[in-house]
Amino acid sequence: MADTFSRFARQHALKVIGPQGQKRLLETTVAIVGCGALGSAQANLLVRAGIGKLILIDHDTVQAVDLHRQILFDQRDVIEEMPKVLAAKRRLNAIDPQTEILAFHTRFSPQNALELVAEADLILDGTDNFPTRFLINEAAIITGKPWIYGGVLSVQGSVMTVLPNQGPCLCCLVPKAPDCNKLPTCKSDGVLNAAVMWVASLQVAKATKLILGHTNEQVLLHGLDVWEGTVRTIQISKNPDCPCCVHKNFQFLQPPLH
């Protein structure tokens, strides 16, 4: 216990966490969907903060092009062609072996989404595409679990918390998933690693507040520009005609027709 106390002494001293908050973190399970840039930064922060259990979901392997922004990985992972979730687990276990890490080397899909998040208290978006975010949104609405959207491109990013049965969902904000083929991507426009860290940090700060019981706050959409050093924040309202959180029309969780 002495080791645990000294490890988290700076969080015990922190008014917004303290020993009670630390205990709550230890009792919490977070699912991270996507273990790339955002996901590895989120997992890094949460394990260092003393989260009890992480569920990591990702289908990809580590490549050299990932290393400039995916902070859990290194050259050895590239050479060994490690699945990201297994490389992440190895690194996270080295940071703090007390956090339980469940690693799922699979695509987050309509077939497994509900099962993968079943154990989680909340879900973090570490993905890079809207179809998967809509799938997370639907799984969260069905299970009543909060999730925190995060997106990053170039030098900018955005973050929003979704509290099912309480506030607006992703579908209230974006009624229809945009056509991925028409959207810029990190491959086409690049991404500043500092922008990734800022977005992931805000997601983890919001997750920590939820874990510690701050669940009655206004739902805000934050637009970050790390190059300019600016944040724009707007309040989001629930769409009374939302197909997802109001009408429970779950288009993404339905398995594809063959």
C-beta of 244: minimal distance to Zn ion in Å? 5
C-beta of 228: minimal distance to Zn ion in Å? 30
Asked if 137 contacts 169 with a C-beta cutoff of 8 angstroms, the reply is yes
139 binds Zn ion (CB under 5 A): no
33 binds Zn ion (CB under 5 A): no
Which of 171, 177, 224, 226 touches Zn ion (CB under 5 A)?
A: 171
Asked if 91 contacts 65 with a C-beta cutoff of 8 angstroms, the reply is no
CA–CA gap between residue 91 and residue 73 (Å, rounded): 8
Count interface residues toward Zn ion (CB under 5 A): 6
CA–CA gap between residue 223 and residue 209 (Å, rounded): 19
169 binds Zn ion (CB under 5 A): yes
Q: End-to-end CA distance of the chain, in Å?
A: 55
Stretch that binds Zn ion, among 37-45, 115-123, 181-189, 234-242 (CB under 5 A): 234-242
C-beta of 257: minimal distance to Zn ion in Å? 25
Going from the C-alpha of 231 to that of each of 120, 133, 148, 243, the distances in angstroms are 30, 22, 17, 30
Asked if 195 contacts 154 with a C-beta cutoff of 8 angstroms, the reply is yes
Going from the C-alpha of 93 to that of each of 42, 106, 122, 232, the distances in angstroms are 15, 20, 21, 36
C-beta of 125: minimal distance to Zn ion in Å? 16
177 binds Zn ion (CB under 5 A): no
C-beta of 177: minimal distance to Zn ion in Å? 13
Which of 28, 245, 250, 252 touches Zn ion (CB under 5 A)?
A: 245
Binding site for Zn ion (CB under 5 A): 169, 171-172, 242, 244-245
